[in-house]
Structure 1
Amino acid sequence: MQPNKPLEGHTYPLRIEGYSSDGAGVARLDGMVVFVQGGIRGELCQVRLTHVGRSALWGVVREVTEPSPARISPDCPYYDRCGGCHFRHMTYAEELEAKRVRVEDCLRRLGGADVRVTEILGAAQPERYRNKAQFPVAPGPRIGFYQARTHKVVDVADCLLQSQAAARLRGAVKDWMTQYSIPAYNEKARAGLVRHVYVRTNRRGESLCCLLVNGVGVPRERELVKALRAAEPGLVGIVLGINQSHSNVILGDAYRTLWGQDFLSDTLCGATFQLSVPSFYQVNPDQTEVLYGKALELAGLTGRETVLDLYCGIGTISLVMARQAGMVWGAEVVPQAVDDAIQNAQCSGITNARFLCADAGEAARQLAQEGVRPHVVCVDPPRKGLAEDVVATIAAMAPERVVYVSCDPATLGRDVKRFAPLGYHLDCATAVDLFPRTAHVETVALLSQQKPDTTML
Structure 2
Amino acid sequence: MKKNDIFELEITDMGTDGEGIGHYDGMTFFVKDALIGDVITARATKLKKNYGYARVEEIKTPSTFRVEPQCELHKRCGGCQIQALSYEKQLEFKNNKVRNNLMRIGGFSEAKLDSKMQPPVGTDNPYRYRNKAQFPVGYDRDGNIVTGFYASRSHNIIPVEDCRLGVPQNKEILDIIKEWMNECGITPYDENTHKGLVRHVLIRYGFTSKQIMVCLVINGDSLEAKRRAGNAADILCERLSKIDGMTSISYNINKENTNVILGKKTVCIWGRPYIEDTIHLLSYPDFTPQGTGITYQISPQSFYQVNPKQTEKLYSTALAFAGLTGNENVWDLYCGIGTISLFLSQKAKQVYGVEIVPQAIEDAKNNAKLNGITNAQFFVGKAEDVLPQFYENAKKKENITDDTASTGHTDMLRPDVIVVDPPRKGCDEKCLDTMLAMSPERIVYVSCDSATLARDLKILCEEKYELMKWQAFDQFSHTTHVESICLLERVSN
TM-score, normalized by length of structure 1? 0.94
Is this contact kept in 2: 1:356–1:363, CA < 8 A? no
Map of 2:217 onto structure 1: 212
Map of 2:315 onto structure 1: 292
CA apart distance, 1:285: 0.8
Map of 1:303 onto structure 2: 326
Is this contact kept in 2: 1:113–1:426, CA < 8 A? no
Q: How far does the alpha carbon of each residue in 1:22-71 deviate from its partner, in whole angstroms, 9 at most, with x for none? A: 11112223443322112221222222233334564222322222322111
Is this contact kept in 2: 1:377–1:399, CA < 8 A? yes
Change (3 A) 1:421 1:36: same
Map of 1:187 onto structure 2: 191
Tell me how far apart the structure 1 counterparts of residues 306 and 33 of structure 2 sit (CA, whole Å).
26
Q: Within 5 Å, which residues of 2 pair with 1:27-42?
A: 27-42=22-37
Change (3 A) 1:210 1:54: farther
Say whether 1:418 aligns with 2:441.
Answer: no
Say whether 1:394 aligns with 2:389.
Answer: no
Tell me how far apart the structure 1 counterparts of residues 195 and 90 of structure 2 sit (CA, whole Å).
41
Map of 1:147 onto structure 2: 151
CA apart distance, 1:261: 1.6
Report the AA paired with residue 142 of structure 1.
V
Map of 1:3 onto structure 2: none
Report the AA paired with residue 363 of structure 2.
D
CA apart distance, 1:336: 1.7
Map of 1:69 onto structure 2: 64
Say whether 1:199 aligns with 2:203.
Answer: yes
Is this contact kept in 2: 1:307–1:376, CA < 8 A? yes
Map of 1:85 onto structure 2: 80
CA apart distance, 1:18: 1.6
Tell me how far apart the structure 2 counterparts of residues 49 and 442 of structure 1 sit (CA, whole Å).
33
SS in 1 for 2:147: strand
Map of 2:119 onto structure 1: 119
Is this contact kept in 1: 2:37–2:64, CA < 8 A? no
CA apart distance, 1:88: 1.4
Tell me how far apart the structure 1 counterparts of residues 23 and 15 of structure 2 sit (CA, whole Å).
13
Q: How far does the alpha carbon of each residue in 1:411-442 deviate from its partner, in whole angstroms, 9 at most, with x for none? A: 11111111122111212210000011111100
- Find the partner of 1:45 among 27, 40, 43: 40
Map of 2:337 onto structure 1: 314
Q: How far does the alpha carbon of each residue in 1:143-167 deviate from its partner, in whole angstroms, 9 at most, with x for none? A: 0000011100011110001111122
Tell me how far apart the structure 1 counterparts of residues 23 and 258 of structure 2 sit (CA, whole Å).
38
SS in 2 for 1:21: coil
Say whether 1:224 aligns with 2:248.
Answer: no
Is this contact kept in 2: 1:318–1:353, CA < 8 A? yes
Tell me how far apart the structure 1 counterparts of residues 6 and 323 of structure 2 sit (CA, whole Å).
54
SS in 1 for 2:241: helix
Deviates more, 1:51-60 or 1:397-406: 51-60
Map of 2:483 onto structure 1: 442
Q: How far does the alpha carbon of each residue in 1:115-155 deviate from its partner, in whole angstroms, 9 at most, with x for none? A: 12351100112111111110001123110000011100011
Report the AA paired with residue 197 of structure 1.
V
Change (3 A) 1:301 1:276: same
Map of 2:249 onto structure 1: 238
Q: Within 5 Å, which residues of 2 pair with 1:105-116?
A: 105-114=100-109, 115-116=113-114
Q: Within 5 Å, which residues of 2 pair with 1:348-359?
A: 348-358=371-381, 359=383
Report the AA paired with residue 52 of structure 2.
L
Report the AA paired with residue 310 of structure 1.
L
Tell me how far apart the structure 1 counterparts of residues 422 and 274 of structure 2 sit (CA, whole Å).
25
SS in 1 for 2:191: coil
Q: CA RMSD in A?
A: 1.6
Report the AA paired with residue 442 of structure 1.
E
Change (3 A) 1:54 1:198: farther
Map of 1:135 onto structure 2: 135
Map of 1:159 onto structure 2: 163
CA apart distance, 1:363: 2.2
SS in 2 for 1:418: helix
Q: How far does the alpha carbon of each residue in 1:283-310 deviate from its partner, in whole angstroms, 9 at most, with x for none? A: 1111011111111111111111111111
Tell me how far apart the structure 2 counterparts of residues 250 and 366 of structure 1 sit (CA, whole Å).
32
Tell me how far apart the structure 2 counterparts of residues 189 and 311 of structure 1 sit (CA, whole Å).
36
Tell me how far apart the structure 1 counterparts of residues 146 and 51 of structure 2 sit (CA, whole Å).
34
Tell me how far apart the structure 1 counterparts of residues 457 and 294 of structure 2 sit (CA, whole Å).
31
Map of 1:455 onto structure 2: none
Aligned residues: 446
Tell me how far apart the structure 2 counterparts of residues 364 and 346 of structure 1 sit (CA, whole Å).
27
Say whether 1:363 aligns with 2:374.
Answer: no
Report the AA paired with residue 40 of structure 1.
L
SS in 2 for 1:39: coil
Tell me how far apart the structure 1 counterparts of residues 25 and 488 of structure 2 sit (CA, whole Å).
41
Map of 2:262 onto structure 1: 251
CA apart distance, 1:451: 2.9
Is this contact kept in 2: 1:318–1:330, CA < 8 A? yes
Q: Percent of aligned pairs with the same residue?
A: 41
Tell me how far apart the structure 2 counterparts of residues 99 and 357 of structure 1 sit (CA, whole Å).
33
Report the AA paired with residue 83 of structure 1.
G
Tell me how far apart the structure 2 counterparts of residues 53 and 199 of structure 1 sit (CA, whole Å).
43
Tell me how far apart the structure 2 counterparts of residues 377 and 145 of structure 1 sit (CA, whole Å).
37
Tell me how far apart the structure 2 counterparts of residues 195 and 365 of structure 1 sit (CA, whole Å).
39
Q: How far does the alpha carbon of each residue in 1:172-199 deviate from its partner, in whole angstroms, 9 at most, with x for none? A: 1112222333211111111111100111
Tell me how far apart the structure 2 counterparts of residues 181 and 31 of structure 1 sit (CA, whole Å).
58
